[in-house]
Amino acid sequence: MIYKGSATALVTPFNDDKSVNYSELERLVDFQIENGTDALVICGTTGEASTLSDDEQIEVIRTAVVRANHRVPVIGGAGSNDTAHGVELCKRSQAAGADAVVLVTPYYNKTTQKGLVVHYKAMAKAIDIPIVLYNIPGRTGLALEPETIFTLCTETDTIIALKEASGNYEKISRTAQLCADRLDMYSGNDNEILPIMSLGGKGVISTVANVVPKEIHEMTSLFMDGKIEEAAKIQLKLIPLINALFKEVNPIPVKAALAMMGFKTGGYRPPLVEMENANYENLRREMQSVLEKQ
């Protein structure tokens, strides 16, 4: 198992010229660890990996690994819609010190389920560190079917976890049934943390934990300690904030929220742009209680 509890899908902060702000990245890593985060996911969707060069992506992972200094596992985003490119990113992520990698399904060109097996097995063969599959058909247009996940976790040694963000509970339940203790499942949606954990999930890879790491960690810990009602109260209390943080495409709102908290997130690389005023004001209202605790 890579971790239990809450992993934060960390943003990538930029300078005013849109270069990567590595010193602020180190500050964000410290903030997360000091507030109980159980693992860090670097250069995923929230980390704007799609607009980072390969060299930038690996350097962001390396910086987080060095700063974390074994305090928590660091999971590097290394997915691609080109298998050969994904293999190279996996190798470089391992060399940079990542404890594991998370690999999204191929997007745009997509593939068949047979192609997914070929794709992921190529990466599993290339590295020795654990692999987290990432099922998010809403972004990629391609779902990992339960039987495909079962094939991958039984026919490889390193594919041991799944970030599940499909929202399809019929298939999520089927995956949990098929894979049982062969696969650790994590929620990829912040509004579905406890539902996934109720099916045996080990926690979450969270965007909202960028802003409230202590609360997301506490929620997952309470659930694992059998304090279901207390965990549910936190999940329900956070729903308005979660909704505000997903009013626009991730990571636009969460970087705006971090800026409200005093972090130098530095905006976005196009095509991402600043929030619409109405959505920004709604987010500011929902962030008020967070800001008051600082």
pLDDT band of residue 95 (cuts 50, 70, 90) is very high
The predicted pLDDT at position 212 comes to 98
Q: Is there a catalytic annotation at residue 134?
A: yes
- Mean pLDDT along residues 164-182: 96
**How many Å apart are CA 49 and CA 57, to the nearest integer?**
7
Q: Is there a catalytic annotation at residue 268?
A: no
Spell out the alpha helix ranges (H) of the chain: 22-34, 54-68, 83-95, 113-126, 137-140, 146-155, 169-179, 193-198, 213-224, 228-245, 252-260, 277-292
CB atoms within 10 A of CB 269: 14
H or E, element range at 132: strand 131-135
**How many Å apart are CA 211 and CA 221, to the nearest integer?**
18
Domains defined for the chain, CATH in brackets: 5-228 (3.20.20.70)
The predicted pLDDT at position 294 comes to 72
Q: Is the pLDDT of residue 83 over 90?
A: yes
Crossing angle of helices 277-292 and 252-260, rounded to 10°: 50
Please write the tens of the pLDDT for every residue from 31-80.
Answer: 999 999 999 999 999 999 999 999 999 999 999 999 999 999 999 999 99
- Cβ–Cβ < 8 Å for 253, 244: yes
Alpha-carbon dihedral sign for residues 94, 95, 96, 97: positive
- Mean pLDDT along residues 245-265: 97
What's the whole-number average pLDDT of the chain?
Answer: 97
Tokens of 254: 């969460």
pLDDT band of residue 293 (cuts 50, 70, 90) is confident
| Distance in Å from the first CA to the final CA of the chain | 33
pLDDT band of residue 97 (cuts 50, 70, 90) is very high
Tokens of 27: 């500050």
- Cβ–Cβ < 8 Å for 2, 205: no
Please write the tens of the pLDDT for every residue from 188-244.
Answer: 999 999 999 999 999 999 999 999 999 999 999 999 999 999 999 999 999 999 999
Catalytic position from the list 134, 186, 268, 280: 134
List, as own/partner pairs, every contact residues 220-227 make where C-beta atoms lie below 8 angstroms and the sequence separation is at least 24, other chains included: 220/4, 220/5, 220/6, 220/38, 220/193, 221/5, 223/194, 223/197, 224/4, 224/5, 224/197
- Mean pLDDT along residues 178-193: 96
Rounded to 5°, angle at Cα 201 from 196 and 206: 70
Strand partners, 102: 77, 132
Q: Is the pLDDT of residue 291 over 90?
A: no
- Mean pLDDT along residues 87-97: 98
The predicted pLDDT at position 184 comes to 98
Q: What is the phi/psi pair of residue 251, to 5°?
A: -105, 30
Please write the tens of the pLDDT for every residue from 19-32.
Answer: 999 999 999 999 99
- Global confidence as pTM: 0.96
Report which of 194, 197, 231, 190 is spatially closest to residue 8, judged by C-alpha positions.
190
- How far does CA 276 lie from the centroid of its chain? 25
pLDDT band of residue 292 (cuts 50, 70, 90) is confident
Q: What is the phi/psi pair of residue 39, to 5°?
A: -165, 165
**How many Å apart are CA 234 and CA 19, to the nearest integer?**
36
Catalytic position from the list 163, 171, 202, 255: 163
Residues 6+ apart with CB under 8 A from 218: 36, 234
Strand partners, 101: 76, 131
The predicted pLDDT at position 251 comes to 98
